[in-house]
Chains A and B, each alone.
Chain A
Amino acid sequence: MIGNFVTTRFNYILGWARKYSLFHYPFITACCGMEYMSTAASHFDWDRFGTGWTRFSPRQSDMLVVCGTISHKLAPVLRTVYDQMTEPKWVMAFGTCAVSGGIYDNYAVVQGSDRIIPVDVYIPGCPPRPETVLDGLIKLQEKIQKQEQEWRWKKRK
């Protein structure tokens, strides 16, 4: 009984800590990168939501921001980057191209990054306005708070 209580509290606290310290790796390929810059810089500043640290190494980051068109040539690179990230990790599909291929319905473009990696939050828009991105970020934070957290010495059922 007490054990359960401690576990749920710990789960909650871990979620709270994780959602406000999302180190992110921007996988910037195309136009959406410009809006990513705007969101990250001073005017919109998603540091306010605890996403301030841009880690340019997948091994140090928790959130992968797939920002822009993923062509077939780039797909293996995206997959590698995702695999290099350590658990727990979340993925944000930023822009219509990352969500579904967008206006590029042709031979060269992967029709959505969720064909290669699991995606947690989809942000539509071509490119999405920074406000939309912030909204998506908050949605992701809610998701992180609610989900069941993993930790090393957790008892498996």
Chain B
Amino acid sequence: MTTRIQKEASKESLLLNMGPSHPAMHGTIRIMLELDGERILNSEVEVGYLHRGFEKICENRTYFNLLPYTDRMNYVSPLINNLGYVMTVEKMLGIEAPERAQYIRVIMSELSRISDHLTCLAAMAMECGAFTVFLYNVKAREYIWDVIEETTGARMTTSYIRIGGVRADLHPGYKAVLKKAIVETRKVLKDIRGLLDKNIIYLNRTRDIAIVSPETAISYGWTGPCLRSTGVYYDVRKASPYAVYDQLDFEVPLGERGDNFDRYMVRMKEMDQSLRIIEQAMEKMPRPSPSKLMVEALEPAEAIKASRTKRVEKEIKLSPNLEGSERGKYLDILGTDKKYVVPPKEDTYTSIEGIINHFKFFMRGHGIRPPKGEAYFSVEGGNGELGYYIVSDGTDRPYRLHLRAPCFHIVSALEEMIKGHYIADIIPTFGSTNMIGGELDR
């Protein structure tokens, strides 16, 4: 199949193919280059190597069941993806999560944002040859994932943020782990700045390479750190605050030139801000309602046994699933409306009403059914404005679900960004766009 560039290329120039599995590029993307020596005259970017049919799948899943698929969109910051989807459905249903859940959501999405930026910079630096930076960044990411794992039970694909709130309360010992993560991340950030900021090799490869003007950036639909690196002040968290971002104090770092180095710098500064947000949210978060002393309570197995003959009146000690998801916690973190919240497992296992509620929730045609209509809601993802557009026809499955992936808009400008530069400049430029296949190709 002849591609566009093959038709357009002049006879004298050299055609070169880069990708989709190229040593110095993460992710699967194909770049076809028209070269004059080392200089790039023209290029064509081909995407779609990770198309997994996300949007079509979603039309065949219930609103509750499609949550795990959203995890795997921008897989470096899955919690933000959850949040975007969940808030869109909440907007359709007209509900709001309890305040404590809102704070947990903010903490979780900021942690995800840090891990997203860390991974992006790790890959970018590694491809420029700075392998140490990669190791340091992944080390910091490990500490952050520890926090996430303590609470959600999974490292990456958590499906933790649920319609109506979050799945479980924060782990009892989360404060110590979180503080450790913050300290370690700060240390790593300092180390990276020491390694890269004045590193002449890094500067030569990033400074004044692939400059994007604010107008171009806006015309391509850029958002997020890449747009801010050109000096445009736009952040969804500030422009239309969701969750409790309006009660937290943070800055939006801006770049000046819009080159690779600015994109790196904006991400570094954003991570500092995210750490600040997390610290504030930890302070401001409402306390959990005091849980009852569970001395009298039954062991789960005993309770299930007792429920076979009569109704269990006593409390049950530990919920049989994730810690912090007992019935008593629901008011703090999830709300109690049976229409959109999975009934607590204690009830499901020990009472008739509970099991009926459970079936009603998961049965085909029942469950979460937003009213007819459409909704768009966007959150600030790791790469920029992450928007979900859902059309509902009143059934338990979305009629249409569209994802506005920030990455797609950024990668579509890649051709213009690398034009006129050398082949070697593609690597840091591509790294700084933070291409995430799952989000790009959906």
Query: Is the pair B68, A57 in contact by a Cβ cutoff of 8 Å?
Result: no
- The 6 A-B residue pairs whose C-beta atoms are closest, nearest first, are A56-B23, A31-B75, A41-B138, A108-B53, A106-B53, A43-B142
**Interface residues of B, dominant DSSP:** loop
Binding site for B on A (CB under 8 A): 27-31, 33-35, 37-38, 41-43, 56-57, 68-69, 71, 73-74, 77, 81, 103-104, 106-109, 126-127, 129
Closest to B149 in A: A129
Known A34-B76, A42-B139, A103-B68: A81·B51 in contact at CB below 8 Å = no
Query: Is the pair A37, B49 in contact by a Cβ cutoff of 8 Å?
Result: no
- The CA of A29 and the CA of B441, in the complex, are separated in Å by 11
Interface check B24, CB cutoff 8 A: yes
- The CA of A57 and the CA of B23, in the complex, are separated in Å by 7
Known A81-B21, A127-B157: A37·B50 in contact at CB below 8 Å = no
Query: Which residues 19-72 of B have a CB within 8 angstroms of A?
Result: 20-21, 23-24, 26-28, 48-53, 56-57, 68-69, 72
Known A74-B50, A77-B21: A31·B72 in contact at CB below 8 Å = yes
- The CA of A43 and the CA of B136, in the complex, are separated in Å by 10
Distance between B191 CB and nearest chain A CB, rounded to angstroms: 13
Query: Is the pair B26, A28 in contact by a Cβ cutoff of 8 Å?
Result: yes
- The CA of A81 and the CA of B139, in the complex, are separated in Å by 30
Query: Is the pair A30, B135 in contact by a Cβ cutoff of 8 Å?
Result: no
Query: Is the pair A41, B51 in contact by a Cβ cutoff of 8 Å?
Result: no
Q: Which of B21, B119, B145, B155 has the most CB of A within 10 A?
A: B21
CB neighbours (8 Å) of A56 from chain B are 23-24
Query: Is the pair A71, B75 in contact by a Cβ cutoff of 8 Å?
Result: no
Interface check B330, CB cutoff 8 A: no
Query: Is the pair B156, A43 in contact by a Cβ cutoff of 8 Å?
Result: no
- The CA of A129 and the CA of B146, in the complex, are separated in Å by 12
Closest to A78 in B: B21
Binding site for A on B (CB under 8 A): 20-21, 23-24, 26-28, 48-53, 56-57, 68-69, 72, 75-76, 119, 122, 134-135, 138-139, 141-142, 145, 155-157, 437-438
Query: Is the pair B56, A106 in contact by a Cβ cutoff of 8 Å?
Result: yes
Known A71-B52, A106-B57, A126-B157: A43·B138 in contact at CB below 8 Å = yes
Closest to B126 in A: A37
- The CA of A81 and the CA of B375, in the complex, are separated in Å by 44
Query: Is the pair A69, B57 in contact by a Cβ cutoff of 8 Å?
Result: no
Query: Is the pair A42, B138 in contact by a Cβ cutoff of 8 Å?
Result: yes
- The CA of A77 and the CA of B437, in the complex, are separated in Å by 16
A27-B21, A71-B49 given. 18 additional CB < 8 A pairs?
A28-B26, A29-B50, A30-B52, A30-B72, A30-B75, A31-B156, A31-B157, A31-B438, A34-B119, A35-B155, A38-B145, A41-B134, A74-B20, A77-B49, A103-B69, A103-B72, A106-B56, A107-B56
